[in-house]
Amino acid sequence: MKRIGYLRVSTEEQKPDRQIDGLSPLCDELYIECVSAAAQKRPIFEQVMTELKSGDTLVVWDLDRAFRSTLDALTHTKRLQERGIQFQVVTMNIDTSKPMGEFFFTIVAAFAQLERRTISERTKEGLRAAVKRGTVLGRKPKLSKCQTLSAQQKLATKEMSLKEVAAFYGVDPTTISRSIKRLEGSMK
């Protein structure tokens, strides 16, 4: 009978430290995954779900760290219960093996889904507002306009090959090609 901790962060920039600190004293093993909850495949989560045995307990720090939606949470916890596996959400102290715990779990799962969708909606609204105000989204180009023009000229005059120009600017040849295409597209 093991207590298995599942931790998830959405991006490499996010740190699982809070979850590790909270789950380490409670669990025999920890599994950490770095993937969005909305991702089609969550290999670590799937591995944990497969390896859990009757009598084990799946422990997560917070509900949204394990499940994508209310339906996803309810479906997985039902499957766990059918296999004789307990489920614990540390921040909520909910016992899903009892009727009242299952009821509260259902309500909390719905709130978690609402929160996730609200955050997503607000993020999209913020991005649309930023674009409307002229903000360019995405990563800053690796080459400036001046560098791109220079690279274009070096290639046009055959002063350097694409590979040589890329090495000169310390970028991949694909970056040179894309930068030139982007520049040509903006001049039309």
How far does CA 177 lie from the centroid of its chain? 30
* Structure token pair of residue 120: 């997503």
- Number of Cβ within 10 Å of residue 53's Cβ equals 11
Active site residue 10: yes
* DSSP for 148-168, written as a single string: HHHHHHHHHTTSS-HHHHHHH
- The active-site residue, picked from 10, 69, 150, 177, is 10
Q: What angle do CA 35, 114, 49 make, to 5 degrees?
A: 40
* Structure token pair of residue 77: 């916890």
3-state secondary structure of 7: strand
The rounded distance, in Å, linking the Cα atoms of 1 and 21 is 22
How far does CA 80 lie from the centroid of its chain? 24
Q: Let me know: does 7 contact 33? Beta carbons within 8 Å.
A: yes
* Structure token pair of residue 54: 């009757």
The catalytic residues are 10
